[in-house]
Amino acid sequence: MSRLIVQKSGPLRGRVQVPGDKSIGHRAILFGSLARGRCHVRGLSHGEDNLSTVACMRAMGVNVELAGDRAIIDGVGLRGLSMPSGVLDCGNSGTTMRLLAGLLSAQRFGTRLVGDASLTRRPMGRVVGPLRARGAHIGGSDKDGRPAPTLEKCYPPLSVAPLVEGEQLTGIEYDMPVASAQVKTCLILSGLYASGPTALREPVLSRDHTERMLISLGVPLRTAGSMVYLDPEGLDGAKWDRGWDPFEWEVPGDVSSAAFPIAAALLVEGSEITIEGVGTNPTRTGLLDMLRLIGAPVEQETRDEAAGGEPRADLFVKHVRPRGGLAAGELVVRMIDEVPALCAIAAVSRGTIEIRDAEELRVKESDRIATMAGVLRAFGVSCEELADGMRIEGGAKLRGATVTSQGDHRIAMSAAVLGLAAEGTTVVEDADCIATSFPTFVPLLKGLGADVRLEES
Ligand code: S3P
C-alpha cells in the first residue's frame, strides 16, 4: 500500500492534461465491443476502472488492444458475446457492474459479477429491481454473500441466469427514484434487446453520455428533458436492424479529474493553471457553475466537439478565495463526483458552503459525506455533517494532517490538495486507489510545482 506525502506548496503554474473521461471511456469500450467491426478509441484513460471494463469484455471474447491512450476494439455485434470462463471482476467500478448487469441480463449465457470490498458494499437493488421487472433472471447477495432477501439488501456479487430459447426481455416504463446515469444506461443497454420500448424518467437529468453516443450511432433513442425513450423496433417508421457500424472516437479529458487541479489552484495562493481539452458536457459541469456562483469562475475556451457529440474546452483557473454559497438540487446531480473537491475548496472560502440533496454520496466508493467530514476536521476545518450533505465553514488556518482515504480515490485526492495549503506535512494513507480514476495525479501536481510524493507504506 502507498501513502502520499504532501507539503505546503508555492504557487502552482502550468498547462496540463487530465486522463480521458472515465464515464465516456466505459461507454466507448462497451459500445465498441458491441459494434459490427473494428473501432478506434483515442484518449482512453489508463485508470483501473476503465481497465476493469476492458477485462470483462475480453473475458467475453472481445479482442481489445491497448497502446498508450489508444484502443482498438474488434466489436462482435449485439449478439456476438460469448460466455466467460469465470466470474467477471468489476474491481472498484460501480459503473462496470451496473452497466454490465443490463447488458448481461439479455444474453443467452449466465454470468457472475464480482467486485472489490468497496464495490461489494454498494447497493444493486436499483438495477436488479427494474431488470427483473422486464424479465431478467438476476439476483444479488446480502452482506454475508447469501442470496439477497430483498432489493433493499441487495449487493454484489450479482448472478445473472441466461434467458432460455424463446424468452426475451420486455419493454418497460420506469420512473427512476434517483437520478443515476448508471441505472439509466443499464436499462438502455438491456432495452436494446427487448421486445418493446424502454421509457425512463429521472427526477433530474443525470449525465447523458449514453444517449449522445447511441444517438450518434443511429440507435432509435429519443430524449426530452430528463426522459429517454428507446424503441428497439425503430422510430418514425424506420425499422432498426439492432446494431451499429464501427466508429472512431476521441474521449475528452475528465472534468471529474480536472476538479482536483482546479481545487489545488484555488487552495494555493498565486496559482494560475490551464487544463487542456476537458469535456464540458453540461450534465457534468455543476462544479464549474457552482464556482461561478461563489465568485471563483473558471474560464472556458471552447474547442472542437469530440466525437459522440461531447463538447470540450480548455479551462483556465486563477487563484481567488471564493465566497460562501449553497449547492443543491440539479446542480448537485451535475457535480455529484466533484463534491469532495468542492469540500476542499470550501475550506478556504470566505463564508459557509452548504451542500444539500447529496444523499447519493453516502453510497459511493465510501460514504463521502462522513469520510470528507472526517478529513476536513483533521485539517482543522469546522464542518457539520447533514443527512443529505454538509455545512463547511471556510477560512480556518489549515494544519497538515494524517488521514486515510478509506480506499476512495476522490477522498485521497481531496485530502492531497488540502495538504498543499496546510502548514506542515500531510500524509494520505491508502493512496493506491487514486489509480482507479487518475493514475497521473501525482506527476501532474508535481509538474505544476506541488511538493507531493508517493511512498510505499
Ligand atoms: C457514472 C454515474 C454516476 C457517477 C459515477 C459514474 C456513469 O453514478 O457517480 O462516477 O458513468 O454512469 P450514479 O449513476 O450512481 O449517479
**Which three three-digit cell numbers place residue 118?**
468497496
Whole-number pLDDT of residue 206: 98
Whole-number pLDDT of residue 304: 74
Q: Is 21 in the pocket of ligand 1 (CB under 6 A)?
A: no
Rounded mean pLDDT of 432-444? 98
Residues 6 or more apart whose Cβ sits within 8 Å of residue 435: 47, 48, 409
Residues of the chain above pLDDT 90, percent: 98
Q: How buried is 72 (Cβ within 10 angstroms: 0-12 exposed, 13-18 middle, 19+ buried)?
A: middle
Cα 83 from Cα 324, distance rounded (Å): 53
Cα–chain center distance at 449: 28
Q: How far is the CA of 269 from the centre of ligand 1 (A)?
A: 32
Q: Where are the beta strands (DSSP E) in 18-123?
A: 38-42, 63-67, 70-74, 88-89, 111-114
| Chain segment 126-174, per-residue pLDDT in tens | 999 999 999 999 999 999 999 999 999 999 999 999 999 999 999 999 9
Assess contact for 45 and 22: CB atoms under 8 A: yes
Assess contact for 204 and 217: CB atoms under 8 A: no
Whole-number pLDDT of residue 220: 98
pLDDT of 79 higher than 80: yes
Cα–chain center distance at 369: 17
| Chain segment 404-437, per-residue pLDDT in tens | 999 999 999 999 999 999 999 999 999 999 999 9
Q: Is 181 in the pocket of ligand 1 (CB under 6 A)?
A: yes
pLDDT of 308 higher than 80: no
| Chain segment 229-243, per-residue pLDDT in tens | 999 999 999 999 999
**Which three three-digit cell numbers place residue 302?**
471552447
Torsion of CA 127, 129, 132, 138, to 10 degrees: 60
pLDDT bracket for residue 368 (50, 70, 90): very high
- For a substitution probing ligand 1, which of 27, 93, 95 has the most ligand atoms within 8 Å of its CB? 95
End-to-end CA distance of the chain: 6
Q: Is 448 in the pocket of ligand 1 (CB under 6 A)?
A: no
3-state secondary structure of 239: coil
Cα 64 from Cα 362, distance rounded (Å): 34
pLDDT of 287 higher than 90: yes
pLDDT bracket for residue 307 (50, 70, 90): low
Q: How far is the CA of 286 from the centre of ligand 1 (A)?
A: 14
pLDDT of 457 higher than 90: no
pLDDT bracket for residue 309 (50, 70, 90): confident
Cα 226 from Cα 132, distance rounded (Å): 23
Q: How far is the CA of 181 from the centre of ligand 1 (A)?
A: 5
Q: Which of 21, 49, 116, 337 is the catalytic position? A: 337
pLDDT of 207 higher than 90: yes
Cα 26 from Cα 419, distance rounded (Å): 31
Known catalytic membership, residue 241 = no
Q: Is 337 in the pocket of ligand 1 (CB under 6 A)?
A: yes
Whole-model pTM over 0.85: yes
pLDDT of 306 higher than 80: no
Q: How far is the CA of 237 from the centre of ligand 1 (A)?
A: 33
> Beta strand pairing status for 310-318 and 325-327?
unpaired
Q: Is 105 in the pocket of ligand 1 (CB under 6 A)?
A: no
